Amino acid sequence: MPKVLIFHTLEWANAARMALAFQEAGWAVSALCRRGHQLRAIRALDQVYTYKSFARLRSVLLTLIDCDPYLIIPCDDRAVILLHRIHSRADPATDAGSRIRSLIERSFGRPESYGIVSTRSSLAAVAALANARMPYTEVIPDLKSLRLWFARRRGVAVVKTDHSWGGWGVRIARTAEQADTAFRSMTGARRMAFAVKRLVWDQDPELAFQLMRGRWPIITAQDFIPGTPANCSVACMAGEVLAGVAVKAVITDGPTGSATVVRVIDNPEMMQMTGAIVRHLGISGIVGFDFILQEGSEQAFLLELNPRATQISHLALGGTHDLVAALCTVLPEGPPLRSAAAAPPITAGQLIAFFPQELRRDPAGRFLTDVYHDVPWQEPALVQAFLAKDGPIRRLIAWARSIRTPILLAQRKAQAELRAPDVGP
């Protein structure tokens, strides 16, 4: 069976859903994640490796060598950045380095595009080259530049920082004062406090390392387009789109947060822009694109490129809307594991509520009964893991158990040695 590695440094639900999608398609699925991650609740995973926040590159590199998958599916932005770093440091003159680079290039595409796809500030130039419609966007080096931008554009601004996700790092500023506040929160003491919180509570040292090295985030300002958020996710190989899923948001978790209820749509304009950028950058794997459908005209404006699996990537909607089935068709040997034409869509309806996101947002809401609720009923332990306590508490319990287990084993070994009979010389 072909082997895929699901790599996740956070605790979003999309990683477990992608693992299940590949399992159901017949792949051998391995996972690289934190202790206490929901992925570990899935039955019949081929192998589970532990991602170590304070030995990030080493833990990832050792996993790639031991697992040796055909594809890597990253499920968050940090996972993408770490894999890009490993690619740049791997020595192509050695056998191990050559294999690592080939694996990452097969999973992501052309190395020349890695620095572009992982930063928000680079997308505007790529969109222009690919003739993709995008709101006016400008890199903001300092607070003075932001004030000048706001005075010149005279409209609502969206202030963004690179390497952020889930709505964090995006602020809608309707006045110059709000823009000032957004910029300061992304670059000043509040960012330092957030870095300390990530380091201590989330066991995530990345932001703290960046600040210690004097690396401040790149800030961009973008024209605000009133409308409805929309997303598409595509499976692609060497710049060719194989399949795609497109949705627009019905309910979102806050003004800049991710969608919890979506409507499946057929939007040729979104798919055309997506295909043009994928071809231009030579992307492989599974990637997502964020759009806004302008109020009134319904024209699609590209907002962001997510070089990873997103929360809609696992949705098997049949035909050319089944991303995992499409990747089965490009395997180097053997027949496709799952035929996209033969696999029935998971729902005939257009409205989908994500689990557990919508349940957490509104436990008694109508969107839990009147639409398709995307619950992985085939994995009861995973459902329970999704409904468990917050991630930091779960990780604290897992960490305590990891410390306690070797102590108990040592105690049992000592007790067994004391009980062993003395057989003499």
Per-residue pLDDT tens over the stretch 215-246: 667 888 999 999 999 999 999 999 999 999 99
Q: Do the Cβ atoms of 234 and 274 come closer than 8 Å?
A: yes
d(CA 274, CA 47) in angstroms, rounded, equals: 34
Which helix or strand (DSSP H or E) is residue 30 part of? Answer: strand 28-33
Cβ atoms 247, 314 nearer than 8 A: no
The domain defined by 227-386 carries CATH number 3.30.300.160: no
Whole-angstrom distance, CA of residue 78 vs CA of residue 406 = 31
Does residue 217 sit in helix, strand or coil?
coil
Output Rg (C-alpha) for the chain, integer angstroms.
23
The token pair at 187 is 């670059």
* Per-residue pLDDT, 238: 95
- Please tell me the distance from the alpha carbon of residue 381 to that of residue 226, in angstroms, as a whole number: 41
Residues shown for the chain: 425
* Nearest-angstrom CA–CA distance, 171 and 256: 7
Q: Where are the domains of the chain?
A: 3-117, 136-223, 227-386
| Cα–Cα distance, 409 to 154 (Å, whole number) | 67
* pLDDT of the residue at 417: 57
The CATH code of the domain at 3-117 is 3.40.50.20
For 182-211, what is each residue's pLDDT tens digit? 888 777 666 677 677 667 666 677 777 766
Tokens 């694996």 found at: 103
Q: Is 389 helix (H, G, I), strand (E, B) or coil?
A: coil
339 vs 341: CA distance, rounded Å: 5
User: pLDDT at position 67, please?
Assistant: 96
Query: Are 119 and 306 in contact, with CB atoms under 8 Å apart?
Result: no
CB atoms under 10 Å from CB of 72, counted, come to 24
Give the full edge-to-edge strand order of the sheet including 240-252. Answer: 300-306, 285-294, 227-237, 240-252, 259-264, 351-354, 372-374
Q: Considering only the top CATH level, what class is 136-223?
A: alpha beta
SS (H, E, C) 354-377: ECCHHHHHCCCCHHHCCCEEECCC
Q: Which residue has the tokens 């319904």?
A: 298
**Tens of pLDDT along the chain (425 residues)?**
899 999 999 888 999 999 999 999 999 999 999 988 999 999 889 999 999 988 999 999 999 999 999 999 999 999 999 999 999 999 999 999 999 999 999 999 999 999 888 777 788 889 998 999 999 998 888 888 888 888 888 788 899 887 666 556 788 988 888 888 888 877 766 667 767 766 766 667 777 776 676 666 788 899 999 999 999 999 999 999 999 999 999 999 887 788 999 999 999 999 999 999 999 999 999 999 999 999 999 999 999 999 999 999 999 999 899 999 999 988 876 545 555 445 688 888 899 999 999 998 888 887 887 899 999 999 999 999 998 866 555 555 545 544 554 555 456 556 655 554 444 43
